[in-house]
Structure 1
Amino acid sequence: MELIHLRILLALKQSGTLSAAADQLHLTQSALSHQMKNLEQRLGVVLWRKQGRLLVLTQAGKYLSDVAESVIATIDSAEQHLALLGAGKTGKLTVGIDCHACYEWFRTILQPYLQAWPELDVEVTSRYRFNSLEAVRHYKLDAVLTADPAFDGALHYQALFDFELVLIVASRHRLAGRGFIEPSDLRQETVLTYPVDRERLDMFRKVLQPAGIEPLKHITVEETDIMLQLAASQRGVCLLPEWLLAEKADRLALASLRFSDLPLTKTMYLATRHEDVTLEYIQGLIGLASNRPARIDVE
């Protein structure tokens, strides 16, 4: 199997017709058909079937086109990176954000970092939020900011800073002012979280589920600022990094609470491929992130 076969399959998947795929790849239709017939003969499978004027991928063709999408993304990324290096530019850094609250912190270091590396092409994305570590391994991302590492040896994890999760409530909430609270105190509460599976939410996996507690209601909220405003209006409580309360607590009348005998300290990491750790712009990001206080003003 050659790279051209994967490019042909991907072009067919995207265009649906032989002529459009041939135009996209700057090949004649006969050359394209010849390439794929040879591949089908070698593999012993049928990769597409004609359906009117369209070409429809078979099960084998769909599988191989998915493989092609991943492989070609890796190849294209490598070629782009090498081309930038060959042109004398620093390169490109694509950073994934693995958690909603991470954005609020990362934006405080982004501008200083861009100023420190003016020739670096930087992209920040949450496109791979639920499989970002896998995206780094497959060269779709260069680094991921995450508080949930997978220490399996596949990636390098650089610890940046520690932070604490706290329960955020309105300053007039019935629990406000307590020294410590228990998970059972949330039994009659509406819990506000990001729209993420419960298995990935610290509120459920670290607080409620170990205690066998089900809250009165669970509401998902996409934006951090809206979540804090809902909490301030006593429409729910939320578990968030303590830094998110900076400057916001007084203006929105919010308070933070800690659970008795339930430490909720986490560490923020930058995950990268092992071979990229020594790159100057990766080290620059690590240095800036490590020295930046995990306490911000959320505007």
Structure 2
Amino acid sequence: MAHQQRSQGHLSPSSDTEDIVAVLVPRLAHFAGVARTEHVTRAAQEMGVPQSTLSRAMVRLEQDLGVDLFARRGRTVALTPAGRTFLSSVERALAEIGRAADEVRADADPATGKVAFGFLHTMGSETVPGLIRAFRADHPRVRFSLVQNYGEAMLERLRSGELDLCLTSPVPDAPDLVGRLLDEQKLRLVVPADHRLAGRRRVRLAEAADETFVTLEPGYGMRRIADDLCQEAGFKPRIAFEGEETETLRGLVAAGLGVALLPPPAVPRPGVVELTVTAPRAVREIGVAWLDGHPDTPPVAAFKKFLLSRRGRLLPDQGYGEHREQPSRARGDGRQ
């Protein structure tokens, strides 16, 4: 019986809220139009619907609610007290829907729309500001909603629709995501300024086998990279401190509490020396990812095209005077 009532557009008093909303929502604008004009014929003309359709919709609305919304006097109608109460809420709901429609249209506008963009913490001080500045040279009014997080958290936000694009490490390999490698970032062995290796420019990682290391916590991409590189160099690092921020680790190195494998800093930090690792090859990949099959708004499509055009030159010059390699292979799963 309940199924028959729903198929005919009527609801029993026991119907749940979702059923009521599904039936009522298409009739709210019609109700507001009739309530505003207090005349069915005039409301039908203004809304461009047949008068008979509008009359039937109002009757069914009252039946669904189980309340008289109008007092009828020929072709004119007047709101009942229940109708006035209902109209107040309906007008607020329709206004909110209108605002939501305006907002999504504005976000999709090619000139002034919005891009929800996520990136790793270590990309935030220099790389991302430089990218946005370069992009806005040709798209000066596009807006950005920026999110800094570790890699897996950003991928989940892609899946939930909170992000349009993200810079992450490594390029994800998942059936529901699309990823493109953009660049590789060389990692450095960071040592205190008075360390025995501080006078060197280059070092084999095996030369640090007897050192104490400071690292990111387990689960961070850079921690996995560091552990894998040390294993490849033939040793397991002795770890004294674990943290959540690369610059905190640099501070620990500067204080003489260990050495660290880290990406280059945005600006040189006093008290440490950054050494190029010649063996094994110490890099992490940086890529852009998005949800497969998700349609892009014009501003998102433009920014995606811009990012893909930066392959091999995504990262700023770190000032070490070395030739940047084109991206080829990757390490890490990325919280940093």
Normalization by structure 1: what TM-score? Answer: 0.59
Equivalent of 1:34, from 16, 26, 36?
16
Equivalent of 1:286, from 308, 312, 317?
308
Partner of 1:256: 275
Deviations, residues 219-239 of structure 1 (Å, cap 9, x unaligned): 3143x4443333233222221
Deviations, residues 107-138 of structure 1 (Å, cap 9, x unaligned): 33233334432221201112575321232133
Partner of 1:191: 214
Provide the C-alpha distance between the structure 2 equivalents of 1:164 and 1:221, rounded to a whole number of angstroms: 20
Provide the C-alpha distance between the structure 2 equivalents of 1:103 and 1:96, rounded to a whole number of angstroms: 10
Equivalent of 1:227, from 243, 246, 249?
249
Equivalent of 1:140, from 149, 162, 172?
162
Structure 1 position 152 matched with structure 2 position 134: no
Change (3 A) 1:152 1:230: same
Deviation at 1:188, TM superposition (A): 3.8
Change (3 A) 1:161 1:36: closer
Aligned length: 223
Provide the C-alpha distance between the structure 2 equivalents of 1:79 and 1:148, rounded to a whole number of angstroms: 36
Deviations, residues 17-41 of structure 1 (Å, cap 9, x unaligned): xxxxxxxxxxxxxx998326999xx
What RMSD, in angstroms, separates the aligned Cα atoms of the two structures? 3.8
Gap regions ≥5 residues in structure 1: 1-30, 40-77
Q: Secondary structure at the match of 1:109?
A: helix
1:77-116 matches, within 5 Å, as 82-84=104-106, 89-97=111-119, 99-104=120-125, 105-116=127-138
Provide the C-alpha distance between the structure 2 equivalents of 1:86 and 1:145, rounded to a whole number of angstroms: 21
Structure 1 position 215 matched with structure 2 position 238: yes
1:81/1:92 contact within 8 Å kept: no
Q: Secondary structure at the match of 1:279?
A: helix
Partner of 2:143: 121
Provide the C-alpha distance between the structure 2 equivalents of 1:88 and 1:100, rounded to a whole number of angstroms: 28
2:135/2:303 contact within 8 Å kept: no
Provide the C-alpha distance between the structure 2 equivalents of 1:290 and 1:184, rounded to a whole number of angstroms: 30
Equivalent of 1:271, from 284, 289, 297?
289
Deviations, residues 156-180 of structure 1 (Å, cap 9, x unaligned): 2232222211211123212334553
Deviations, residues 139-168 of structure 1 (Å, cap 9, x unaligned): 111111012122234322232222211211
Provide the C-alpha distance between the structure 2 equivalents of 1:213 and 1:141, rounded to a whole number of angstroms: 38
Provide the C-alpha distance between the structure 1 equivalents of 2:20 and 2:109, rounded to a whole number of angstroms: 38
Deviation at 1:255, TM superposition (A): 2.9
Change (3 A) 1:212 1:288: closer
Change (3 A) 1:247 1:144: closer
The structure whose residues are more often helix, as a share, is: 1
Normalization by structure 2: what TM-score? Answer: 0.54
2:203/2:275 contact within 8 Å kept: no
Partner of 1:5: none
2:212/2:259 contact within 8 Å kept: yes
Change (3 A) 1:212 1:87: closer
Deviation at 1:186, TM superposition (A): 4.0
